[in-house]
Amino acid sequence: MNIDLGGRTALVTGSSQGIGAAIAAGLARAGATVGVNGRDAGRLEESLGKLRAEVPDGAFVPVAADLGTAEGAERALRTLPDVDILVNNLGVFGAAPALEIDDDEWRRYFEINVLAGVRLTRAHLPRMRDRGWGRVLYIASDSAVVIPAEMIHYGVSKTALLGVGRGFAKEAAGSGVTVNCVIAGPTHTEGVEDFVYQLVDRDLPWDEAQRVFMREHRPQSLLQRLIEPEEIANLVVYLSSPLASATTGAAVRVDGGYVDSILP
């Protein structure tokens, strides 16, 4: 399958590491110019160095902005005002007892995990619609469907994204712009390693800790291992391409069979 995104410009939010960085690399390999986003300019430059080493022919644009705020969104729009592909990947997560999550923490998760994507969609979707082509993607999670007891605030924020994606897909109906959610399963990233060690013995080697985590906390997984970020990126690149022109308003799973459902 030949995916050619030459001439397209993409913005991947929260892309200085993990799934976001893998998506940025995948889109660049397909020929897109990719806006790489992070809050800290120094750390972002370090991430760009890694991406350029990984994809020597890739075209990357640094977008230093805290997209969890309206001011950060405005800064990003000044840096990269017009994109063809918007991948809303930015998100925070962490374990917390359900009854101890206060109002401020609930608001923080909503601002970063939901409103950040809403703001950018409001800005970019009208331009895409006027051109008659565009892709908007939200990186959701299996936690949107199977709410984890240890982080319900995260799960609920990802559930909201499914509604946001479906709603904006209706706004884009008939325009040539598609809007979709990607339901990512438990994925191997640096942040997830920290999360795993919140729940299992920190003295365990990583490979053993991962197996214990999946067995005790994610036993529904049919893959029975953490997903690699590149596996998420592969689906995102496809959904960003002209080949996915008939897929819109969908929540597409790349979850290792974690969600126990026969529907996508």
d(CA 84, CA 130): 11
Nearest to 120 by CA among 238, 12, 256: 12
The span from the CA of 131 to the CA of 126, in Å, is 9
Catalytic sites, residue numbers: 154
The answer for residues whose C-beta is within 8 angstroms of residue 33's C-beta and 6 or more apart is 8, 9, 10, 59, 60, 61
Query: From CA 231, how far away is CA 245, in angstroms rounded?
Result: 21
Cα separation, 118 vs 127, whole angstroms:
15
Q: CB neighbours of 155 closer than 8 A, spacing ≥ 6?
A: 141, 143, 144, 146, 147, 148
What is d(CA 158, CA 176) in angstroms, rounded to the nearest whole number? Answer: 26
